[in-house]
Amino acid sequence: MADQTSSPYQPTMAEMVKIEQLAEREKLFTLYLKDGRDLGHRAGQFVEVSVFGIGEAPIGVTSSPTRNGTFELCIREVGDVTRALHRMEPGSTVGIRGPFGNGFPIDKMRGKDLLFAPGGMGLPPLRSVIQQVLDERESFGRVIILYGARNPSELLFKDELAQWEARDDVEFHVTVDRGDENWTGNVGVITTLFPKVTINPRNTVALTVGPPVMYRFVLIELLSKGIQDGNIFLSLERRMKCGLGKCGHCQINSVYVCQKGPVFSYAQLKDLPEAI
């Protein structure tokens, strides 16, 4: 029972312990909650990060809940709040509200072959569930990762990508829309990676996250491989402000993305024409 002075808008204070530049506009922030608690999130959930005096921004948690203590946020500098975050040094304090949203359906994924298709900034949210899967590797079947970025300088988590590529229990393919003088890998949009893998559609769950324009094309690839609507999961970005299903900004037709999403199955999207 909420007491009179409690408010769902009150953030918990968190401290930044480490800040790493991942790419030109993206930084990886490692934080812990000052009251000592774990964030207690599910992979695929997001938090509202407060820079007092500037505002709040919704950021997906990029680290797995299986890794306790600290949590990681990969943040691109695009607006007022994210610009202020990028100017901070380790030791800075921010407010954290959440975690919010539904998260990826990890229990539906157990025992199945998994096909991850992150595009660009879609990698940070998927990384949380990929890490969780790799931490509990025996519970899952094949792990296939198809990652597309715009160019080599925009590839995120390069060290971790190399680890995934090196593992013999992970099938990893990466492509860039446009290469550079040093790039020797695949060149082409993310859809060009799909012909490289053959899957058993009856036993595969696909998870894809990326910019709005990408979804339609990746869905065509996934559906033509025979994966069922109910086994394809997407994470949809909208303007999450309150995180509580009240302020209205994140609505897709009848649902509040911060409550019923941001993870949706393709089957659910049939009832949400505004979704993609």
Partner 1 sequence: MPLKVIDKKKMASFVTSLMEEREVVGPVAKDGKFVFSPIDHYSQLRLDCPITLLPPKQYFLPQEEPILKYKLGEATRSEPVIEAKPRVIIGVHPCDINATWLLDLAFSTDNLDTNYMEKRKKAVIIGLDCNEPCDEHSFCKSMGSLAVEGGYDLFLTDIGDAYMVDYGSPAGMELLARHKVAREATEADMSRFRAVQDAKWPKFTYKLEMNVSDLPNLLAIGYDNPLWEELGKKCLACGACTLVCPTCYCFDIVDKLALNLKEGQRLRRWDSCQLPEFATVAGGENFRKARSDRQRHRFFRKGKYLTEMFGKMGCVGCGRCVRSCLVHIDPVEVYNTLKRTCAPGGWAQREVAAYQQGS
Positions in the binding site for partner 1 (CB under 8 A): 2, 4-11, 13, 50, 52-57, 76, 78-79, 81-82, 93, 95, 212, 220, 223, 237-239, 241-242, 244-249, 251-254, 259, 270-271, 273-274
Distance of closest approach, residue 58 Cβ to partner 1, in angstroms = 9
Token pair for residue 202?
Answer: 């009856």
C-alpha to C-alpha distance for 228 and 266, rounded to whole angstroms: 9
Task: Read off φ and ψ for residue 187, nearest 5 degrees.
Answer: -125, 130
Bridge partners of 28?
20, 74
The residue among 10 and 68 lying less far from partner 1, judged by its C-beta, is 10
Task: Give SS3 for 126.
Answer: helix
Burial of 276 (0-12, 13-18, 19+ CB in 10 A): middle
C-alpha to C-alpha distance for 112 and 133, rounded to whole angstroms: 11
Token pair for residue 190?
Answer: 């993310």
Amino acid at 171: E
87 CB-near residues (< 8 Å, 6+ apart)? none
Distance of closest approach, residue 45 Cβ to partner 1, in angstroms = 15
The residue among 76 and 173 lying less far from partner 1, judged by its C-beta, is 76
Distance of closest approach, residue 233 Cβ to partner 1, in angstroms = 19
Distance of closest approach, residue 253 Cβ to partner 1, in angstroms = 7
Distance of closest approach, residue 262 Cβ to partner 1, in angstroms = 12
What Rg do the C-alpha atoms of the chain give, in angstroms? Answer: 18
The residue among 2 and 166 lying less far from partner 1, judged by its C-beta, is 2
**What's the distance, CA 186 to chain centroid?**
23
The residue among 191 and 259 lying less far from partner 1, judged by its C-beta, is 259
DSSP element (H, E) containing 21: strand 12-21
Q: Are 161 and 174 in contact (CB under 8 A)?
A: yes
Distance of closest approach, residue 193 Cβ to partner 1, in angstroms = 21
Distance of closest approach, residue 51 Cβ to partner 1, in angstroms = 8
The residue among 27 and 112 lying less far from partner 1, judged by its C-beta, is 27
The residue among 198 and 254 lying less far from partner 1, judged by its C-beta, is 254
128 CB-near residues (< 8 Å, 6+ apart)? 43, 44, 60, 61, 62, 63, 64, 65, 104
